[in-house]
Structure 1
Amino acid sequence: MAVCYATSKDGIHWEKPNLGIVEYEGTKNNNIIWRGEEQDGDHWAGPHGAGIFKDNQETNPNRKYKSLFKVEDLSVGFSKDGLHWDEYQSCEGDVTVAGDTHNNAFWAPTLNKYVGITRTWGEMGREVARIESDDFINWTKEEVVLEGLDKNLQPYAMPVFYYGGVYLGLVAIHNQKIDRVHTELTWSFDTKKWHRISPGTPLIPCSEKKLDYDYGCVYTCAYPIFENNEIKLYYGGSDWLHFGWRSGAFCLATLRPDGFAGYEAKTNSAKIVTKNISYNGGDVSINVDVNKGGYLNVKILDKNGKELAKAKSVSKTLINGKLKFDKKIEHGDIKIVFEFANAKVYSFGFSN
């Protein structure tokens, strides 16, 4: 197995430079940055399932890039530039997890720790496991943080990233009956307790066309790219089943801003009332898709439920659209009421 390097100026057209780092089939004229040795007995010819990230809080320039992966056991690696890597070392501590999956690690800003997400086995089959570390070398004993709802739909890898004040997980679900893998959405406040959003409903589904580039498996990359009008989610797709020989592809799915999940009302109207929110001024912005004939009405209440202001009705799709209210909203604790039909509400926020 190997790790390769590619670059792009627009996220669509990619180049694979000749790096001259790793010899493969008698030449270094390739884009490989890291390659395992020949398989030794039952050991993986690692790095297997390598998750690489740039650590912006690291002060040691030689450890700016970090990786979590499996060789003989779960291991870590360090690099100053993401291309040239030091000799890997086994994770120290109490880690005993197999790690034969797409491993990922990240700095958790709310915990001030490194968190690793890997995979183990349990009563329900494959299960997502979590480890943590202060220094990326010494790791805690793995703990199961997500298991399947049944033995058929088993969670596999789960890339995690911090976004909007919570941690989002893009969990791969292995369907045992049909041997295919799709991606679903989870979220957590603390990386330990995870909540699945619409279990069984893919965020990124597999194609239904046999031998299409992502018919068999969809494994998301660790970090989406957030642009002004779009979220880019890269993923690895394969044209055949999980346990079969297959061709792989580097793929792209896109979402509208804050489009990971939302509340949707198709025919009947819906109403959402927030809990009390501390309001310190600024515009109220909204992300919403409004279909033909749909609407979104927004009201501001005080903490006791008395109406303070009402916004102009929204009848079109908005991306970070500012709401226009009939009265000035005073500082203090407020509740926001959303009433909508034939629309999907994603998020709201405050801005100056």
Structure 2
Amino acid sequence: MNRGIDVAVLAIVLGCIVMTQQTRAGSLQAPPGLFKDVNDQVVGDAVVINGTQLFVDDRIIAEHDGVVRKLNQPVKHPKNPFLVADKPWEEQFSFSSVMYDEEEGFFKMWYGAWLNDWKKQHVCYATSSDGITWKKPITTPWNAKEHHNKVFGGTKEFNCSGVFKDPTDPDGEKRYKMVYSDYPDGTSKTASSSAAYSPDGIHWVPYEGNPLIPFSDAHCCPFWDARRGRYVCYLRYGPPNSRMISMTESEDFVNWSPKITLFRREATDQPFSTALYQMEVMPYGNHYFGFISTYHGETIEPIPPEKVAWADKLDVQLAYSRDGRVWRRVGPHGAIDHRQFSEERDWAAFSRASTFIPWGEHGKDWDWGWLYVLQAPIVVGDEIRIYYTGGTGRHWAPYHGDENTTSGIGLATLRRDGFVSLDAEGEGTMTTRTLMFVGDALEINADASGGSIRVEALDPEGKVIAGFSRDDCKPITTDDVHAIVQWGDATDCHQIQATPIRLRFYLDKAKLYSFTPRIMHQHYVPSYD
């Protein structure tokens, strides 16, 4: 009996072995080049990239010929200003914040409002379904003595508030957060920056442990930075209170690091006695952009005719960072290294050409005197919306006889990735450093409507990879934020993924804003026949 059982077990085992051998015999091989090894030896010195690659600096650019980097200005909206002072408690606008609330599906704004005596500022609340037409909803209870859209502030020296919605805090009562500046006892001895919380962006409570951060006499710009896993706040240097740009970080919105000084005045600021008034910051994919209100020629003295066009006025210049901590100013041809400020050059021309958002026509436009970008610009579809407060009159308007000054909030728009482009007036090329990415398609953001762009892939030694030459590439001849590069009859370029390569872009009367590795195809293959 036991022998019979042993024979049966042996038969089962032999059957399993045969089946296993048959299965192994039917295993299939992946097509050549589909699977690749990635390790430190394979990668070598290649720059491993992810996401959209911009051309603000030279990190991925090895060489170029016949192309130049160009700072592009946003376009002011024709309906500007679309938020104006039209309530009894608002006569002038100041530092403000804006966001698109994806959970609730509409735009929200917290704007600083003053009366013309400049004695008390309130934070007021506005909403919009499209970001163009705004409403000022009543935020007070129906039985209140006064109905208005004021949500915070009103003390003698309250100022500089920055607001954001925090997606990470488990305490719903602290869903919205604010950093603001104040003189708690009404004197400069207690000048400081403090925090407030709100469950809905309307009903605010100051933090009981205030103050938290040394004083900032300009817009405080806080937000949760997912890349750093920390709260950050960009604000003014000090003490002593000085027009330079600083930053502080926190893990809990209560304990803040000592300030880090990011920008001091440089050679480019000397020709027009430029001070760095404040900087709003926009996290943008793997990048950060700063919007500096540059204050030129501060004075309360009479302004000579040759300086009237710019003295005691503010416009906006651009800054750039890859980590939010180490920043560079952006000039007419992209980011400039700090060491370059020691060079001899025409810094006056450089400064003029570095203007990102200019003031309006002097004495005529609604924003001819000053501009402050709202914290923070918003990406809507394929455009970047940069909201800003602007006004007539110079910074010290009463000393210059600028009467009946007004202010409002408007909008300037830029195409996605449009900060700095590579431009070719004729034929030109740009070759990247050795890169490596994961993806099976290459998307470019470019305006080639007046010419063309082609791309070829090279190995690290500069040899063209078969099937990915310039001649294999179908020319792109459109103005397209999401153009897909095609070699031969296919957009699938997985053969060059996960391996060190260089890309060479051939431009002919075109502007190239960015490129992005994408995954757009399925790569399933059967394992067995």
TM-score (norm 1): 0.89
Give the Å deviation of 1:182.
Answer: 1.1
CA contact (8 A) 2:218 2:278 kept: yes
Residues in 2 aligned to 1:264 and 1:91: alpha-carbon distance in whole angstroms: 49
Give the corresponding residue for 1:168: 289
| Structure 1 residue corresponding to 2:247, chosen from 119, 130, 142 | 130
Give the Å deviation of 1:192.
Answer: 1.8
Give the Å deviation of 1:244.
Answer: 1.7
CA gap of 1:81–1:157, structure 2 versus 1, over 3 A, is: same
| Structure 1 residue corresponding to 2:411, chosen from 223, 233, 252 | 252
Which has the higher mean CA deviation after the structures are superposed, 277-286 or 130-139? Answer: 277-286
Give the corresponding residue for 1:4: 124
CA gap of 1:22–1:260, structure 2 versus 1, over 3 A, is: farther
CA contact (8 A) 2:431 2:505 kept: yes
CA contact (8 A) 1:22 1:35 kept: no
| Structure 2 residue corresponding to 1:142, chosen from 248, 255, 259 | 259
Give the Å deviation of 1:27.
Answer: 4.9
Give the Å deviation of 1:227.
Answer: 2.1
Residues in 1 aligned to 2:205 and 2:389: alpha-carbon distance in whole angstroms: 26
Give the Å deviation of 1:314.
Answer: 2.0
Give the corresponding residue for 1:28: 146
CA contact (8 A) 2:216 2:238 kept: no
Residues in 2 aligned to 1:272 and 1:121: alpha-carbon distance in whole angstroms: 43
Aligned-partner residue type, residue 383 of structure 2: E
Deviations 1:283-315 (A, max 9, x none): 1111112353x3222111122222121322222
Aligned-partner residue type, residue 315 of structure 1: T
SS of 2:173's equivalent in the other structure is helix
More strand by share: 1
Q: Whose radius of gyration is greater, 1 or 2?
A: 2
More helix by share: 2
SS of 1:240's equivalent in the other structure is coil
Give the corresponding residue for 2:163: 52
| Unaligned runs of at least 5 residues, structure 1 | none
Whether 1:264 and 2:431 are equivalent positions in the alignment is: no
CA contact (8 A) 2:247 2:262 kept: yes
| Structure 2 residue corresponding to 1:321, chosen from 480, 483, 499 | 483
Aligned-partner residue type, residue 320 of structure 2: W
Give the Å deviation of 1:121.
Answer: 5.8
Give the corresponding residue for 2:175: 64
| Unaligned runs of at least 5 residues, structure 2 | 1-120, 184-191, 299-310, 332-349, 399-404, 521-529
Q: How does 1:189-228 map to 2 (within 5 A)?
A: 189-198=322-331, 200=351, 201-228=354-381
Whether 1:78 and 2:197 are equivalent positions in the alignment is: yes
Whether 1:306 and 2:448 are equivalent positions in the alignment is: no
Whether 1:344 and 2:506 are equivalent positions in the alignment is: no
Whether 1:13 and 2:133 are equivalent positions in the alignment is: yes
- The count of aligned residue pairs is 338
Give the Å deviation of 1:18.
Answer: 1.4
**Percentage identity across aligned positions?**
29
CA RMSD of aligned residues (A): 2.4
SS of 1:158's equivalent in the other structure is strand
**Larger RCO (alpha carbons 8 Å, 6+ apart):** 2
CA contact (8 A) 1:19 1:28 kept: no
Aligned-partner residue type, residue 330 of structure 1: I
| Structure 2 residue corresponding to 1:335, chosen from 476, 493, 502 | 502
| Structure 1 residue corresponding to 2:227, chosen from 100, 110, 114 | 110
TM-score (norm 2): 0.60
Residues in 1 aligned to 2:265 and 2:288: alpha-carbon distance in whole angstroms: 19
Aligned-partner residue type, residue 231 of structure 2: Y
Give the corresponding residue for 1:179: 312
Aligned-partner residue type, residue 65 of structure 1: Y
Give the Å deviation of 1:141.
Answer: 1.5
